[in-house]
Homo-oligomer: A and B are copies of this chain.
């Protein structure tokens, strides 16, 4: 919608990252299409902001800045790298999905441990070995 370019302050506001982080991200090459005005100040297009939003999301799933940088590098090379980018995304998606499942398993494990505490609290008996201290193998 809005075609106007945003300052770094505005960009920080809308993306939720600090100005320092935006400069840092740009320096290490994870950002795209950040331009400058006549006095050298950064100007962020909607596309630049959308990219930052993607970066923030990928970071929040544990993707390293190094991997994001590689992805950004492909994006800079143009549309002929779309197949590679697609692959990177799919691989990362699979990793996140696996991580989500792993977390859910640990939720179940913790529930079992809490149940062990509940049992102690209910019966007043402390077992020899704390219940469910260990998880099922891996």
Q: Which residues of A contact B (CB under 8 A)?
A: 46-47, 49-51, 53-54, 57, 60-61, 79, 82-83, 85-86, 89-90, 92-93, 96-97, 99-104, 106-107, 109-111, 113-114, 117-118, 120-121, 126, 129-130, 133-135
Which residues of B are found within 8 Å of A83, using beta-carbon distances?
Answer: 117, 121
Which residues of B are found within 8 Å of A51, using beta-carbon distances?
Answer: 133
Which residues of B are found within 8 Å of A50, using beta-carbon distances?
Answer: 129-130, 133-134
How many whole Å from A49's CB to the nearest CB in chain B? Answer: 8
How many whole Å from A72's CB to the nearest CB in chain B? Answer: 12
How many whole Å from A112's CB to the nearest CB in chain B? Answer: 10
The answer to whether B107 touches A103, judged by C-beta atoms less than 8 angstroms apart, is no
Which residues of B are found within 8 Å of A129, using beta-carbon distances?
Answer: 46-47, 50
Given A61-B106, A82-B120, A93-B110, 11 other A-B contacts at CB below 8 A? A46-B129, A50-B129, A51-B133, A54-B133, A54-B135, A82-B117, A83-B117, A86-B117, A86-B118, A96-B110, A100-B104
